[in-house]
Chain A
């Protein structure tokens, strides 16, 4: 038992740094903090994405970091005994992380499928650094839009008189930005406009509110508040 005990840890975390024990621990800590931060950011993005009516900026970098971290840990775990307590717990955690990532991407795809044309139009008007979709998502959106158009053309619109055809092609579904969301303030935010008649409220850190999304959209993007 005792010879197994310290092996997996070295295999899991410290495999790259083969130095002395103390250094290893420092490296390890750094790595843990960043991975943890990445996970926290992803989790927040995931919940925000699920609750927001419109599509939010993509967390491409964070996803890539996390995917490589998960792959890295899986690589290390391959050598472990499947029934080892540590292997089971690590596998469980990886499953949880993977679920968050998959659910996040699924949620975005769902929005892209619903608001395809609207999102594409918006993306076109945005500066390259403000784009909300990842390159893959953009490609998916474009292909999805053209496939849907082609399909509609084949089965319906080509048989329609010209005038109606124009109307059918204009169907653009837009998200309702004034829909109500639940919100939690991360920091104190003074003077948030909360009503149509410019009523203002000071939000204290940690307070929870229900409010139309559009009024707080910028707070969410600045990470001053998060959706719940």
Chain B
């Protein structure tokens, strides 16, 4: 999956905006939004919020969790905990990135927030890498990944499933060749064709 797809999915998140125009509700396929009243907050999907903000038609209200104290607390919690803590939003990185790049003026202490969110992400990433290392060395095939967000899962997609697949394939080949040799030694005739070649073609 491409990172832009993660962003696309994350853009469905609802976010509050304060429009500077008034309008009837809009009936989108995805659901109705509005009515828009100038000066009154209204929830819209993130993709619409960024579009309207670029057109200077609204101000974005940062989500509640985009607050220095709350984020500092999350960061400390994340440092303390052995496991992944629950994030305030399933797509916190996507939301933070989009809101802060389109509307830095709407977010108080934007630069500091950016740093602390990046810190949280880094802590989680390094935790993730350590646990993957332990997981693969422990030769597991199954793991629970609660509270990981889509972007974090995606960041290990190139490593984790593929290396597990490779390990599984080696194991299968090993057992298959073991079977072959025992079969061969049992019947000394030994047909020349190798029956397990299919697994080499599978992706």
Contacts and interface: CB of A to CB of B under 8 A. Distances in A.
Interface of A: 5-6, 9, 12-13, 28, 32, 35-36, 39, 47, 50-51, 53, 69, 73, 85-86, 88-90, 92-94, 96-97, 99, 103, 114, 171-176, 178-182, 194-196, 199, 201, 207-212, 228
Candidate in B26, B142, B144 with the most chain A CB atoms within 10 angstroms: B142
B51 A88 contact: yes
Q: Which 3 A-B pairs have the closest CB atoms?
A: A180-B161, A194-B142, A176-B202
B28 interface: yes
B153 interface: yes
Given A90-B28, A195-B142, 20 more contacts: A9-B27, A32-B31, A32-B32, A51-B1, A92-B48, A93-B28, A103-B5, A175-B202, A176-B202, A179-B161, A179-B203, A182-B161, A195-B141, A207-B146, A208-B146, A209-B142, A209-B143, A210-B143, A211-B142, A212-B168
B165 A208 contact: no
B71 interface: no
B145 A86 contact: no
A34 to B, nearest CB: 10
A175 B202 CA distance: 5
A86 B25 CA distance: 10
Interface in B1-18: 1, 5, 8-9
A216 B164 CA distance: 16
A196 B141 contact: yes
B145 A36 contact: no
B148 interface: yes
A93 B21 CA distance: 20
Interface of B: 1, 5, 8-9, 21, 23-32, 47-48, 51, 57, 141-148, 150, 153, 157, 160-161, 164-165, 168-169, 198, 201-203
Contacts of B150: 228
B142 A36 contact: no
B144 A53 contact: no
A35 B27 CA distance: 11
Nearest to B167: A180
Nearest to A97: B29
A89 B48 contact: yes
B168 A178 contact: yes
B142 A210 contact: yes
A39 B1 CA distance: 20
Contacts of B5: 50, 103
A69 B29 contact: yes
Contacts of A211: 141-142
A201 B47 CA distance: 38
B198 A174 contact: yes
A196 B172 CA distance: 12
B29 A176 contact: no
Given A53-B203, A85-B21, A199 B142 contact: yes
Candidate in B1, B29, B30 with the most chain A CB atoms within 10 angstroms: B29
B123 to A, nearest CB: 19
B51 A89 contact: yes
Contact of B201 (A50, A93, A173, A179): A173
B202 A90 contact: no
A148 to B, nearest CB: 15
A169 to B, nearest CB: 14
Contacts of B24: 5-6, 9
Contacts of A96: 8, 47
A161 B140 CA distance: 46
21 contacts: A6-B24, A9-B25, A12-B27, A35-B29, A36-B29, A39-B30, A50-B1, A50-B5, A51-B1, A85-B21, A90-B28, A93-B30, A114-B203, A171-B201, A174-B201, A175-B203, A180-B160, A182-B161, A195-B141, A208-B146, A210-B164
Contact of B145 (A39, A195, A208): A208
A73 B31 CA distance: 14
A194 to B, nearest CB: 4
